[in-house]
Amino acid sequence: MDFKELLQFIDKQDGKLIKSYESGHDKEKRVLARAVKLAEETGELCSEALSYNKNQRQEKLDNHSANSLANEVADVIITTMLLAKTTDVDIETALKNKIEKINKRFENI
């Protein structure tokens, strides 16, 4: 999947979410709901990172699989991109600008 296909998926998923769950929400409520969803997904990613390093109770380790961490990484990326869309963040420009800033910070290393 390339970045353009990912952006197209985000556009489609945004429409589906609005239609299915958020039809009565104004933009402010949608932003808050998606920010909370991002926090939820980030928590699940952290849990999987602990499991990856075997730093969880056995019952959680029993539910961990080779794909669990990858799935949670993908959930965080998708949820972040949905929040960016809702708040009118141009994700391509934001990433480009951030990468340039990081590269400048480390250009002497």
What pLDDT is recorded for position 24?
Answer: 83
Cα end-to-end distance, the chain, whole Å: 32
pLDDT of 6: 97
pLDDT value of residue 25: 83
pLDDT score at 21: 84
Round to whole Å and give the CA distance between 71 and 47: 12
Q: What is the pLDDT of residue 30?
A: 94
The two structure tokens encoding residue 53:
């390093």
Averaged over successive runs of 10 residues, the pLDDT of the chain (109 residues) comes to 96 94 87 97 95 88 87 98 98 97 94
Q: Which domains does the chain have, with CATH numbers?
A: 10-105 (1.10.287)
Instruction: Give me the pLDDT at residue 102, please.
Output: 97
